[in-house]
Structure 1
Amino acid sequence: MRCDRVHSFDVAKQGYVNLLHARIPAGTADTAPMVAARVDLLSSGVYLPLADALAKVASEHIEDGMVIDAGAGTGYYLAHVLDAVPAAYGLALDVSAVALRRAARAHPRAGAAVWNLWEPWPVADSSASLILNVFAPRNAPQFHRVLTEDGLLVVATPNPGHLRELGDLVISVDGSKDARLEDTLGERFTRVDRHEVTQQVALEPDRIRQVVEMGPSAHHLHRDGRRERLDAITGSVDVTTSFSVTLYRPVS
């Protein structure tokens, strides 16, 4: 790939392109073990209700155009959305090249680019029909810039009760997260709808380890005996998964 200033970027053999021009601080991008844990956990169907909810929203609100998954990880949720909207195509953006090796192959109508979401995106103005943002950084100015006037922003966040049975093995959800979400998006977006996706599921020890090791909690397992307590789990645990799916329209 080549830009207007004649910078060139090779497409990796796995199908993604790395557009980053600077190194990312340690602990920012998903590591190979985190991605492996996420792939195993998502393939088990534990978070399928959330994927189905996102796909349903997309099918009800768009018919075609580009879907950007901002913080796409392995492309799991983007693939479900594209399956639900056959005339759409997708772009996975994430800072982790390891994750995008998976995202680039997640769906035949999706491309993938390594990018820091806090930087101005390598995406044209008013080019996206829908932006997905699932447990990822929220860059409101870029969301607003790349969405069409009638585009839709769909934000998925964990609720305060999410994974509560696992205690401090996972990072707890801040009770003021919803207010902070509105503060972040309020000037540029209007909230138009919201859905909750909550279930209780029995997780075997291997699945519990995947839940913990696939997210930011993985960076903290060396503290306060967390790794030892995680490894000591030998039986099934009933765990709550709880998410909010919030829909926004851009303000003109």
Structure 2
Amino acid sequence: MGALTDLAGLLRCPVPHHAGEAALAPDGDGRTLGCPDGHRFDLARQGHVNLLSRPAGANADTAEMVAARERFLAGGHYAPLTRALGDVLADLPEDALLLESGAGTAHHLRGVLGAGPRRGLALDVSVAAVRRAARADPRIGAVVADSWEPWPVRTGCLDAVLAVFAPRNPAETARVLRPGGVLVVATPEPGHLRELRESSSLLGIEEGKVERLREQLGAGFDEEEVDVVDHLLHLDPTQARDLVLMGPNGHHLSPVELAGLWPEGASTRVSVRVARYRVRPPTRSRG
């Protein structure tokens, strides 16, 4: 639980109607986080804290999906993506504070922390995912929170935010970043996993994703750098099924459907756009 107690100063109480931001701090017993108004949140024995004000919805990844993600990523299949994320964040201070929204198991967040004193928060709506994220690295604090809702994070305290195949919340991202902070977004290109999609009934990739992303971020961010990670994967049957199960398709495919896919394994192309955006300074009103 050391990471969360060390990083508690980055968190704010999720209970609404405080006068200003109510910072969270560890209680003397080290088992809870509390705000000055008396709201208390238990630290789970797995090392995370749940700051969601309601039960997780149907969009939360299941334990089976999270286990598949951990197995697949541990195989190094997305290592080029993690390296690309690290490259676009290489110029951050060595003691930078980062957050990954929709972090899952915090695999990519751990990768971009490097070997130095950087630290990070992993936010995800799935309790199963956050339990894994809490064990990913002693420098990561794991928090159950919904990326679509106001984040339980203090204003202007972070150097960077990551969103890897995850929802973006531009308003909250701009709020929590320090002046000059950056957002890094990884989104699938049209050809991403095309071979798997064409050989099954997997969800497609929406057209116009880049245009919508730029429209989302245009009011508050400037695009600085874009890279495309592109490489071929050769997967055995279990790896191919884990790759599908760990993403949105895991909510839609039954175990029977999944078990019947790619009995001989499959080859498929990874194609991911990695873009970096810098938060724009707020406009000063005249007068």
Which TM-score bucket, shorter chain as reference? over 0.9
Q: In the alignment, which residue of structure 1 is the partner of 2:15?
A: none
Cα displacement string for residues 96-152 of structure 1 (whole angstroms, at most 9, x for unaligned residues): 111011111111111011001111111111100011111111110000001011111
Q: Structure 1 88/229 Cα, relative in aligned 2: closer, same or farther at 3 Å?
A: closer
Q: In the alignment, which residue of structure 2 is the partner of 1:204?
A: 236
Is the 1:89–1:110 contact (alpha carbons within 8 Å) kept by the matching residues of 2? yes
Offset, 1:249:
0.5
Counterpart of 2:98, as a letter, is V
Q: In the alignment, which residue of structure 1 is the partner of 2:190?
A: 160
Q: Does 1:240 align with 2:272?
A: no
Is the 2:190–2:205 contact (alpha carbons within 8 Å) kept by the matching residues of 1? yes
TM-score scaled by length of structure 2: 0.83
Q: In the alignment, which residue of structure 1 is the partner of 2:25?
A: none
- From 141, 146, 149, the equivalent of 1:119 is 149
Q: In the alignment, which residue of structure 1 is the partner of 2:88?
A: 57
Q: In the alignment, which residue of structure 2 is the partner of 1:70?
A: 101
Kindly name which structure, 1 or 2, has the bigger radius of gyration based on alpha carbons: 2
What's the % identity of the aligned pairs?
A: 45
Is the 1:163–1:170 contact (alpha carbons within 8 Å) kept by the matching residues of 2? no
Alpha-carbon distance between aligned partners in 2 of 1:218 and 1:75, rounded to the nearest angstrom: 19
Q: Structure 1 232/188 Cα, relative in aligned 2: closer, same or farther at 3 Å?
A: closer
Alpha-carbon distance between aligned partners in 1 of 2:96 and 2:34, rounded to the nearest angstrom: 23
Worse-superposed segment, 63-72 or 131-140? 63-72
> Where in structure 1 are there 5+ consecutive unaligned residues?
none
What SS is found at the alignment partner of 1:60? coil
Alpha-carbon distance between aligned partners in 1 of 2:229 and 2:86, rounded to the nearest angstrom: 13
Q: In the alignment, which residue of structure 1 is the partner of 2:137?
A: 107
Is the 2:241–2:261 contact (alpha carbons within 8 Å) kept by the matching residues of 1? no
Alpha-carbon distance between aligned partners in 2 of 1:185 and 1:82, rounded to the nearest angstrom: 25
Is the 1:169–1:217 contact (alpha carbons within 8 Å) kept by the matching residues of 2? no
Alpha-carbon distance between aligned partners in 2 of 1:139 and 1:75, rounded to the nearest angstrom: 18
Offset, 1:232:
4.4
Counterpart of 1:214, as a letter, is M
Cα displacement string for residues 33-79 of structure 1 (whole angstroms, at most 9, x for unaligned residues): 00010000000111111011111222233432210011110010010
Counterpart of 1:159, as a letter, is E
> Where in structure 2 are there 5+ consecutive unaligned residues?
1-32, 282-287
- From 169, 172, 178, the equivalent of 2:210 is 178
Offset, 1:25:
2.4
Alpha-carbon distance between aligned partners in 2 of 1:216 and 1:227, rounded to the nearest angstrom: 17
Worse-superposed segment, 29-38 or 61-70? 61-70
Alpha-carbon distance between aligned partners in 1 of 2:89 and 2:206, rounded to the nearest angstrom: 27
Counterpart of 1:57, as a letter, is V
Offset, 1:229:
6.8
What SS is found at the alignment partner of 1:59? coil
Higher relative contact order (CA 8 A, sep 6+): 1
C-alpha RMSD over aligned residues = 1.5
Q: In the alignment, which residue of structure 2 is the partner of 1:214?
A: 246
TM-score scaled by length of structure 1: 0.94
Is the 1:162–1:242 contact (alpha carbons within 8 Å) kept by the matching residues of 2? yes
Offset, 1:230:
5.2
Q: Does 1:25 align with 2:50?
A: no
Q: In the alignment, which residue of structure 2 is the partner of 1:148?
A: 178
Is the 1:169–1:230 contact (alpha carbons within 8 Å) kept by the matching residues of 2? no
What SS is found at the alignment partner of 1:240? strand
The size of the alignment, in residue pairs, is: 247
Is the 2:56–2:126 contact (alpha carbons within 8 Å) kept by the matching residues of 1? no
Offset, 1:231:
1.4
Is the 1:154–1:247 contact (alpha carbons within 8 Å) kept by the matching residues of 2? yes
